[in-house]
Amino acid sequence: MVETAKKKKANKKKNRIGILCLICLIILFGRAHYKRGIGPVSLENPVEVSFEIPMGSSTSKVSDILESNGLINSKLIFKYIVRKDALDGKLKAGQYTLNSGMNVEEIVESLSKGGKNTNIVKFTIPEGYELKQIARRLSENGLVDEERFINLTEDASKFADKYDFLKEAPEGSSLEGYLFPSTYDVESGASEEVIIEKMLNTFGEIYKTTIKNGIKDTGLSLNELVALASIVEREGKVDEERPLIAAVFYNRIKQGKPLESCATVQYALGERKEKLTFDDLKIESDYNTYKHKGLPPGPIASPGLKSIEAAINPANVDYLFFVSNGDGTHTFTTNFKDHLDAKNKNNH
C-alpha cells in the first residue's frame, strides 16, 4: 500500500513536470510563431508585389489578399497588429506596390496611409462658377451628362428631404449657389445625384459651422445671404476686400439705392462680358440690379467661404461705391463725385 502511494505520488510529479514542459514548449512555440509572424516573408531576397485592396475591404479580407500575394506569414498575427494599432476598419483601398522584405508593422503603416486608387476621380469647381459652368466642366471631364445634371439642379426641392437648409429656398429655386466650390473625390462612374449630393454635403458643413449662427445678425434669409455672398464672390478678386464689397451692398440696401452690380447683369445676360454697354444695363430681368432695388431673387454663382464670411461680417465702413483698379483691387468711395473721379482716373 505504501509502495502504491509512492508510485502515485511519483506519477503525479512526472505529470506536473510533463505539463510544465508542455506549457514551456507552447510558450516557446508561440513566441517563435509570433516572431516569425511579424517578420518579413523574405528579407534576403525581397520581391516587389503589386496588388489592389478593393473599396470596403475588411481587415480579414486584406489579410487574405496579403497572404495570397506572399507578403505576410500569418493572417492571425497581421489582424492582431492591426487591432493593436487601432487601425481595424481604417486600412485604405487602392493600388499598392509593397515588397516581401517588409515586416507587418511596415505593411500596416503603408496600408493605413493609402495607395493609389484607380477607381477614384478628382475634380475641382472654382469659386464663382454658375450651375451651367459646373455642369460643363463635369461633362468635359466625363463625369456627368450635362443636360441631366442641369435638369437635376433646376429644382432645389428635389433634394430638400435630405438637406434641411434647402427647405428655406423659395419655391421654384434651383441649386444655384448651393453647390459648394471645392476639390472633390468621387468613385469612377458616380451618378449625377451622388456628385450633386457630395457638393451639397460640403455646403451643409459650411451652413452648420459658419452660416447657421452668423446669419442671425444679418437680417437676411439664407437665400438672400447666399445671393449676397455670390455677388461678393463675383465682384471681388482679393479676399481682403470682400468684407468691404459686402459693406457697400449692405449700405446701398439700407439707403434704398439699387446695388448696381455688373455681375448680376452678366448673369441676366447669360454671358460674362468684360465690358457692359448701356443697352446691357437696360436688360429686363429681376437679376438686373441697376433696374431693381434690393437683392436679386437668388444667387448668381457658387460663393466660396471667404465671400460667405464677408456677407455675414461686412466691414464697418460708410462706402457706397467701388471701382476696379484693373489689377484685381478696387477704389472705395462714400459719394458719387469721388466715385466718378476714381472711375475717370482708372480709365486713363
Flag whether 8 is in a domain: no
Flag whether 20 is in a domain: no
Can you tell me the mean pLDDT for 188-216? Answer: 94
Can you tell me the mean pLDDT for 147-165? Answer: 95
Supply φ then ψ for residue 2, to 5 degrees: -65, -40
Least confident range of 5-14, 138-147, 329-338:
5-14
For residue 225, which of 240, 203, 241 has the smallest C-alpha distance? 203
Structural domain harbouring 56: 48-113
Q: What percent of the chain has pLDDT over 90?
A: 65
User: Quick one: pLDDT band at residue 26, thresholds 50, 70, 90?
Assistant: low
Q: What is the tens place of the pLDDT at every residue in 276-323?
A: 888 989 899 999 999 999 999 999 999 999 999 999 999 999 999 999
**pTM to 2 decimal places:** 0.69
- Rounded to an integer, what distance in angstroms lies between the CA atom of residue 218 and that of residue 226? 12
- Rounded to an integer, what distance in angstroms lies between the CA atom of residue 84 and that of residue 76? 12
- Rounded to an integer, what distance in angstroms lies between the CA atom of residue 98 and that of residue 110? 8
Flag whether 308 is in a domain: yes
Residues 204 and 222 grouped into a single domain: no
Which residues are within 8 A (CB) of 128 and not within 5 positions of it... i.e. 6 or more apart? 181, 230, 233, 234, 301, 302, 303, 304
187 vs 217, which has greater pLDDT? 217
User: Quick one: pLDDT band at residue 346, thresholds 50, 70, 90?
Assistant: confident
User: Quick one: pLDDT band at residue 185, thresholds 50, 70, 90?
Assistant: confident
CATH of residue 99's domain is 3.30.1490.480
Flag whether 157 is in a domain: yes
User: Quick one: pLDDT band at residue 35, thresholds 50, 70, 90?
Assistant: confident
- Rounded to an integer, what distance in angstroms lies between the CA atom of residue 259 and that of residue 282? 14
Q: Which of 215, 236, 258 is the last residue of a domain?
A: 215
pLDDT of residue 8: 56
Residues 161 and 87 grouped into a single domain: no
pLDDT of residue 234: 97
Flag whether 1 is in a domain: no
Residues 181 and 158 grouped into a single domain: yes
Task: Check: CB of residue 71 under 8 Å from CB of residue 98.
Answer: yes
How many independent structural domains does the chain possess? 3
Task: Check: CB of residue 283 under 8 Å from CB of residue 265.
Answer: yes
Flag whether 188 is in a domain: yes
Cα separation values, 51 from 81, 115, 170, Å: 21, 10, 51
- Rounded to an integer, what distance in angstroms lies between the CA atom of residue 322 and that of residue 242? 12
DSSP H helices in 69-221: 75-84, 104-113, 131-140, 146-153, 192-206, 212-214
Q: What is the tens place of the pLDDT at every residue in 222-265?
A: 999 999 999 999 999 999 999 999 999 999 999 999 999 999 99
Measure the CA dihedral 245/247/253/256, to 10°.
-100
User: Quick one: pLDDT band at residue 37, thresholds 50, 70, 90?
Assistant: confident
- Rounded to an integer, what distance in angstroms lies between the CA atom of residue 194 and that of residue 311? 29
Residues 91 and 68 grouped into a single domain: yes
Cell of 45: 531576397
Residues 332 and 222 grouped into a single domain: yes
Task: Say which DSSP state 286 is in.
Answer: T
- Rounded to an integer, what distance in angstroms lies between the CA atom of residue 124 and that of residue 275? 28
Q: Which of 184, 215, 246 is the last residue of a domain?
A: 215
Residues 226 and 339 grouped into a single domain: yes
pLDDT of residue 303: 98
For residue 211, which of 168, 275, 259, 244 has the smallest C-alpha distance? 168
User: Measured between alpha carbons, how far apart are the two ends of the chain, in Å?
Assistant: 127
Q: What is the tens place of the pLDDT at every residue in 254-277?
A: 999 999 999 999 999 998 888 888
pLDDT of residue 13: 54
Task: Check: CB of residue 328 under 8 Å from CB of residue 156.
Answer: no
Q: What is the tens place of the pLDDT at every residue in 41-70?
A: 987 788 888 898 888 889 999 999 999 999
User: Quick one: pLDDT band at residue 121, thresholds 50, 70, 90?
Assistant: confident
Flag whether 29 is in a domain: no
Residues 194 and 310 grouped into a single domain: no
Can you tell me the mean pLDDT for 128-151? Answer: 96
User: Quick one: pLDDT band at residue 219, thresholds 50, 70, 90?
Assistant: very high
pLDDT of residue 120: 78
Residues 224 and 340 grouped into a single domain: yes
Residues 249 and 339 grouped into a single domain: yes
- Rounded to an integer, what distance in angstroms lies between the CA atom of residue 72 and that of residue 69? 8
Q: Which of 163, 184, 215 is the last residue of a domain?
A: 215
pLDDT of residue 12: 57
Residues 185 and 139 grouped into a single domain: yes
Flag whether 83 is in a domain: yes
Residues 225 and 343 grouped into a single domain: yes
